[in-house]
């Protein structure tokens, strides 16, 4: 019998919580085994949301009436005290009561509180916020997505190693292929930091990933690489641009297929292909950003996702622990 994985869950973060969070737990529970959920939040609001079909040994509610507000600055969130659901959930990982923590709450607050409670992995200076993006051939890990506005070449090399370890944890049968996000694919393009990083990564011989050089923003979805490295400023702009473009395309397509008789007939004829297209761009399938670089894994679910998206984030948590991500990073980092 495999080891029970314990996931600490901040039940009070994000839109529609705690119901969305608990519904996500129920959905995840139905498709897995050997998982225990430590649920932090308002017990009176949570207990009636958990159906009887869930084994009582599979969850524990740790009561607190306090929660981090979505509008709090990171400093305000930290000042709310050590008895908010987010702080207590992170603290349970620090105290080895849980293997991993997840929250759909305030991103800045989650990063700051995690850094206050958890140590950095030795020889890593900065944690990175990473996430999954779809590409033509499967999935890519992209980092950093906003945790660090400025980075030096060592930080970017660390991100390459951590991103590759994360990719291999989630997709063990695939080879990690790393690229640096840049304004062009030629060696002479970019600022000094990214050019220095290119030169150093080019000299590293690694069994864990292949370095493929630079990648431009227009090629992010081609699937030729699957670990894309950037500083947090550039990565966050790229993420928001990609999200906005996907929403624009799906919105315009929906409008085109619903505002005329021809469009409605076309949508009925192509219903199977349209459903495939919709599913491919469904952000719930890629929900679950990961703070990596800390000595315990922290997962951030999108605050606006529904219970399906939150359930998918719980699956990411499960894969990270089963693949022993932290040990992989410690082994590969210099």
Residue 18 Cα distances to 22, 29, 52, 152, angstroms? 6, 16, 17, 40
pLDDT at 295: 92
pLDDT at 283: 63
Indicate if 125-285 has the same CATH topology as 1-120+293-334. yes
pLDDT at 286: 67
What's the topology of domain 1-120+293-334?
A: Isopropylmalate Dehydrogenase (3.40.718)
Rounded Cα gap, residues 218 and 59, in angstroms: 45
pLDDT at 267: 55
Q: Does domain 125-285 have CATH number 3.40.718.10?
A: yes
Entry pTM: 0.85
Residue 124 Cα distances to 129, 181, 292, angstroms? 14, 21, 10
pLDDT at 132: 87
Q: pLDDT per position in the chain (334 positions), as tens?
A: 568 999 999 999 988 999 999 999 999 999 898 999 999 999 999 999 998 888 888 999 999 999 998 888 888 888 777 899 999 999 999 999 999 999 999 988 999 999 999 999 999 999 999 988 888 888 899 998 888 888 999 999 999 999 999 999 888 888 999 999 998 887 778 889 999 999 999 888 788 889 999 999 888 888 899 999 999 888 888 877 877 777 776 676 667 666 667 556 555 555 555 556 556 556 667 677 899 999 999 999 988 889 999 999 999 999 999 999 999 898 888 6
pLDDT at 276: 62
Contact 230, 150 (CB under 8 A): no
* Helix runs in the chain, H state only: 19-29, 43-46, 74-79, 85-94, 107-117, 153-170, 192-203, 232-256, 261-269, 271-280, 307-322, 325-332
pLDDT at 147: 86
- State the residue for tokens 């929906």: 254
Identify any residues that bridge with 252 across adjacent strands, giving them in sequence order. none
pLDDT at 80: 76
Give the CA-trace dihedral at 153, 235, 286, 185, to 10 degrees.
-70
What tens digit of pLDDT does each residue of 221-240 get? Answer: 888 999 999 998 888 888 77
Domain boundaries, the chain: 1-120+293-334, 125-285
């Amino acid at each position: 019998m495999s080891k029970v994985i314990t996931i600490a869950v901040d039940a009070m973060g994000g839109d529609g919580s705690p119901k969305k969070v608990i519904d996500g737990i129920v959905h995840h529970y139905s498709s897995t085994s050997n998982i225990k959920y430590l649920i932090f939040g308002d017990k009176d609001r949570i207990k009636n949301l958990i159906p009887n079909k869930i084994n009582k040994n599979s969850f524990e509610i740790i009561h607190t009436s306090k929660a981090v507000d979505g509008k709090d600055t990171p400093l305000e969130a930290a000042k709310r005290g050590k008895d908010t659901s987010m702080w207590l959930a992170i603290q349970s990982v620090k105290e080895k009561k849980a293997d991993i923590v997840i929250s759909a709450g305030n991103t800045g607050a989650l990063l700051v509180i995690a850094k206050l409670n958890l140590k950095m992995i030795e020889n890593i200076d900065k944690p990175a916020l990473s996430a999954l993006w779809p590409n033509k051939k499967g999935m890519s890990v992209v980092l950093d997505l906003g945790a660090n506005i400025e980075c030096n070449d060592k930080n970017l090399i660390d991100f390459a190693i951590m991103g590759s370890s994360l990719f291999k944890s989630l997709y063990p049968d695939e080879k990690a292929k790393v690229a640096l996000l840049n304004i062009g694919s030629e060696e002479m393009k970019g600022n000094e930091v990214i050019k220095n990083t290119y030169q150093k990564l080019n000299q590293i011989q690694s069994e864990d990933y292949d370095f493929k050089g630079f990648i431009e923003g227009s090629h992010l979805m081609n699937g030729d690489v699957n670990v894309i490295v950037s500083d947090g400023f550039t990565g966050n702009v790229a993420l928001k641009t990609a999200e906005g473009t996907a929403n624009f395309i799906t919105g315009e397509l929906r409008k085109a297929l619903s505002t005329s008789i021809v469009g409605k007939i076309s949508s009925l004829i192509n219903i199977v292909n349209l459903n495939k297209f919709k599913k491919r761009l469904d952000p719930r399938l890629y929900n679950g950003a990961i703070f990596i670089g800390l000595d315990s894994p922290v997962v951030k679910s999108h605050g606006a996702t529904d219970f399906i998206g939150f359930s998918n984030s719980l699956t990411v948590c499960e894969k990270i622990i089963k693949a022993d991500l932290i040990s992989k990073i410690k082994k590969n980092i210099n």
